[in-house]
Chains A and B, each alone.
Chain A
Amino acid sequence: MRIDLPKWINRHQWLDRLGFEDKPDINMLIRLAEAEEKLFATAMPQGVYRVMPVEAITPQGHNIKKHLEECDEVAIMAVTLGAMVDNLIRTSQVRDMAEAVMLDAGASILIEQIADELCRIIDKEQQRCTTVRYSPGYGDYPVMMQTELIWLTDAHRKIGLSVNKNYMMTPQKSVTAVIGMSDEPVTGYMATCKDCHLRNGCEMIRKGQHCVRL
């Protein structure tokens, strides 16, 4: 299904990702607005989800098991900004590397916003209590599980999302995730920094932050 674009790409996160923290200059904000316009003109956000019994997915790793502990069903979801955004970023690398950096970071934020939107759609359509979404590669839920989620949602056919032998998704700006569902309120369990295999050298830890949004 086609997913609506948000009104804007989250500026705080975008600037953060580019390293600005909270001190952007006005020129940068203007350039981000231009980059946003290009991304919005190019993105064809698509999403798909399936509701299945919790047993449908392979519970690789402790984290995902813990995340789905209280749940009887899962919503398996996949979203993508589409191949044209990859084209845009690739082309901009020839024209203007600074813009490419902005587009690349902006598209990464945008796809998370699109994923947020699909989560809202799932909540609305299914009317069940849900956990936050959990993606392969996060905590000890292996990135290889992307292949399974893509298969279960038929995402290749439904939204044009494929995965190569090294578990890289194309189009690149895409997200797959699992949401736990239950009749009772559930919080799920997001991996902590100690579960994370990227903890060494993590910029966020160094700054005393973490990436979990609860």
Chain B
Amino acid sequence: MLDFKNKFYILDGGMGTMMQANGLEPGEVPELMSITHPEVIRSIHRSYVEAGSDIIYANTFGANTHKVPEDCGHTLEEIIEASVKTAKAAGNADTKVALDVGPLGELLEPMGSLKFEEAYDAFRRTMIQGEKSGADLIVIETMTDLYEVKAAVLAAKENTDLPVMVSMSFEESGRTFTGTDVVSMAVTLEGLGVDAIGINCSLGPAEIYPIAEKMCASTDLPVFVKPNAGLPDPRTNEYDIDAEQFAEMMTAYLDLGIAAAGGCCGTTPEYIAAVKKAFAGKERSGRRPAEKKSIVCSAVKPVTIDHVAVIGERINPTGKKRLKQALLDEDYDYILSQAVEQIDAGAEILDVNVGVPKLDDVAMLPKVVKQLQAITDLPLQIDSSNPAAIEAALRVYNGKPIVNSVNGEDKVMEAILPLVKKYGAAVIGLTLDENGIPATAEERFAIAQRIMDCALGYGIAKEDIYIDCLTLTASAQQAEVAETLKAVRMVKEQLGLHTALGVSNISFGLPCRPLVNRTFLAMAMENGLDLPIINPNDEDMMGTVYAFEMLHNRDKNAEKFIERYSEASIGTMSRGASVKETAESAGDLYHALEKGMKAETLAAVKELLKTEDAMTIVNNHLIPALDRVGQGFEKGTIFLPQMMQAATAAQGGFELIKDHLAQSGQEKVSKGTVVLATVKGDIHDIGKNIVKVIMENYGFDIIDLGRDVAPETVVETVKAKDIKLVGLSALMTTTLGSMEETIAAVKAADPECKVMVGGAVLTADFAERIGADFYCKDAMKSVEAANSVFE
């Protein structure tokens, strides 16, 4: 349909500018003009066709359910139909008409409140009608959020058969407003199978050039550009580059081997005609093929597998009671804390596994993925054997993840590899099949080869296939350790694939496991291991990786190694100065808490645990210390950041106590369960989170429903968990209505349930008026309120 190999396409220029010049009023829905003034739209299109545009964008940029008001007198479908038809009527026989798809105008989660699934549904309606109305292709453009692009691309590919082109708007920094870089965009969209990618709007031709150059080097997909005519004047809104200058600057792009070009804001048919003329007779270079690289990415961070990259293995509940419980309770704070630790320790990719018996992983895996990608820019590895859970997670992942894993069994490959291809992921293949793990390296190699051939058959690129040759336990199968290493080398050298390996199994049942682990890790890396799946909090292991990279001269000038270990004392592996564990008395505990010294607080609690019962420490030391801090806060001698420091330090102490109780099989004592939520429509949740931290310190269990929470969700939770106290927060005057509504709903469902409220714009009077039981002007007041409810 589009023949980028043999044909260069001239695109059209600015639409908005032309419509404003032709009578579009401020506040009007531009797409409605296709119905109210089709002749105007038609003549704009016609003038682009006459100027030389081969592809014109229909007047559907904002034709979506979020931008077209329902009461505008026409359905979305009517508007799209009129827009596409008008464009078709303006074109020549060979003019292609694109369904133009712009942003929904609202930011997606986690930056905004729009859910990925809602965005998909909105785009879906537009895409279906676009194809029905006869569009020849779909252009998704002026995007700044890769997540929104993904929703749009899936909506296009799952509901139509049209080719899809995508362009995003970059700043001079080479990133979009939401932080996406060119490489992450290219590898993600190449994976999702779009037909061409490009850059439009925001900058002029000169500023876009280096970004386009990078894009061309990052992908073999056709690349297209639609720059602005420079910068607009704030008074006249006229752009500062004229048609001739624009065309002159655009000719530079021919050397990059781009596939299509046009203009965006400020460009008119005159500009397109000038480009057409300037390009005529000029030789267009062929594209240099992009370097073949293995890259995975989040929306803002690509990781190239050209060095040993550590995959953090800690978010996996196997053998971890606490994480298991956290997954069952949807205690995301704990799960995220496991991620943060690994990030700080130097993991480059995080494995995510939610395999707990009876837990619905199809629902849970995407939830955890969403939570993780809200707080980290590391790429994720989706770890499951359930194809449905893998697909659910792949769908909502923002970027290009790794799927862990397939193996040599046909039915496993048939179920999972098509998903890997569809969502553009990389995949780990385990060298085992229905007969188990073969003993010899040659047999494992054979499975690896089978997996590779099968993946290639599904259209998965060779660079995206990683092989795990499987570590066996040295204590049980000592002779086969060498087989694993040999298999790694064979896969690396003969198949040219990257390799992954879980490492710590090797030492099971042996003394001095860390020594065995790090020795095996070094051996495996020397045999070609690229992606060790390890616990990055284990400094022995990380140090081995850093030393290995340095000794292989990949860590140039030992820069990273020195940065990490320059402060380590001789003969030890700890990074930086070690914490003095000298705090011995409860007096120290208060001092440490008040000063917010986490390490010292931990040391003090540890010390106390030697002599005192866990609950005594809570009641006689931690809580009184916190009370003193709280009193200081009330008196104005301690301020919010200091109180939060103290609370965070105390949190560490409480974690220690919880672990201690869990180990000794005791239940921790809860003072009561409180539901916290930021009300519907409100996305400012820092206040609520402050309250949560403080209340947890005081022994309350918190069910945190998050932000933008519908009244029904609060009510459901209250009923399901028999909740006695709900805390609601709202920051804006515009969301106080939601707060009132939520209180009414809670009271209707359970008149006994108390509600406390807080937030910047609230007052005690107002709180009373909307039916709240407590007005809490700060976090300490919510502790008081909760104490009075649970007394």
Contacts and interface: CB of A to CB of B under 8 A. Distances in A.
Interface of A: 1-2, 18-20, 27-28, 31, 44, 46, 49-51, 56, 75, 82-84, 86-87, 89-91, 93-98, 100-102, 104, 122, 125-126, 137, 143-144, 148, 151-152, 156-160, 162, 164-168, 170-172, 197-198, 200-201
A127 to B, nearest CB: 12
A31 B598 CA distance: 15
Given A93-B689, A97-B690, A125-B234, A86 B111 contact: yes
Contact of A198 (B110, B645, B761): B761
Contact of A168 (B202, B237, B647, B683): B683
B345 interface: no
23 contacts: A31-B641, A50-B235, A83-B107, A83-B177, A89-B686, A97-B644, A100-B686, A101-B641, A101-B644, A143-B732, A152-B26, A164-B106, A164-B683, A166-B732, A166-B738, A168-B681, A168-B684, A168-B734, A168-B735, A170-B106, A171-B107, A197-B733, A201-B762
A98 B179 contact: no
B732 A170 contact: no
Interface stretch (B333-341, B399-407, B461-469, B567-575): B333-341
Which 6 A-B residue pairings sit nearest by Cβ, starting from the closest?
A160-B177, A98-B644, A166-B681, A201-B763, A98-B645, A51-B235
Given A94-B375, A157-B201, A164-B112, A44 B173 contact: yes
B732 A171 contact: no
A27 to B, nearest CB: 7
A121 B788 CA distance: 55
A172 B114 CA distance: 15
Contacts of A201: 762-765, 777
Nearest to B639: A19
Given A51-B234, A157-B142, A162-B106, A90 B644 contact: no
Contacts of B381: none
A171 B265 CA distance: 23
B734 A91 contact: no
A20 to B, nearest CB: 5
User: Of A90, A151, A159, which is in contact with the most chain B CB atoms at under 10 Å from its CB?
Assistant: A90
Interface string B663-688: 00000000000000000011110100
Given A102-B641, A151-B27, A156-B105, A172 B333 contact: no
Contact of B178 (A83, A137, A148): A83
B263 to A, nearest CB: 15
Contacts of B110: 87, 90
Given A143-B734, A172-B683, 14 more contacts: A19-B636, A51-B234, A91-B375, A91-B376, A93-B686, A94-B333, A94-B340, A97-B693, A156-B105, A162-B107, A164-B683, A166-B738, A170-B107, A197-B733
Contacts of B681: 164-166, 168
Given A82-B177, A164-B112, A18 B641 contact: yes
Contacts of A31: 641
Given A51-B234, A98-B648, A166-B734, A19 B640 contact: yes
Contacts of A126: 234-235
B683 A44 contact: no
Interface string B501-513: 0000000000000
Interface string B633-656: 000100111101101100000000
A28 B237 CA distance: 46
Contact of A28 (B641, B761, B762, B765): B641
A49 to B, nearest CB: 5
Contacts of B144: 160
Given A2-B171, A51-B234, A84-B179, A167 B684 contact: no
Interface in B693-726: 693
B763 A200 contact: yes
A156 B336 contact: no
Contacts of B333: 94
Nearest to B233: A51
Contacts of B734: 143-144, 166-168
Contacts of B251: none
A97 B647 contact: yes
Contacts of A1: 231
Contacts of A90: 110, 374-375
Contact of B732 (A101, A162, A168, A200): A168
A122 B114 CA distance: 34
B172 interface: yes
A159 B761 CA distance: 28
User: Of A90, A98, A144, A198, which is in contact with the most chain B CB atoms at under 10 Å from its CB?
Assistant: A98
User: Of B112, B761, B763, which is in contact with the most chain A CB atoms at under 10 Å from its CB?
Assistant: B112
B536 interface: no
A101 B26 CA distance: 39
Contacts of B107: 83, 162, 164, 170-171
A73 B265 CA distance: 24
Contacts of A198: 733, 761
A94 B683 contact: no
Interface in B69-118: 103, 105-107, 110-114
B234 A160 contact: no
B766 interface: yes
Nearest to B178: A83
Given A97-B644, A143-B734, A50 B690 contact: no
Contact of B172 (A2, A125, A156, A170): A2
B171 A44 contact: yes
Nearest to A102: B641
B498 to A, nearest CB: 29
Contacts of A49: 234
B125 interface: no
A96 B328 CA distance: 25
A27 B641 CA distance: 11
A44 B180 CA distance: 13
A10 to B, nearest CB: 16
Given A97-B647, A157-B201, A165-B681, A151 B375 contact: no
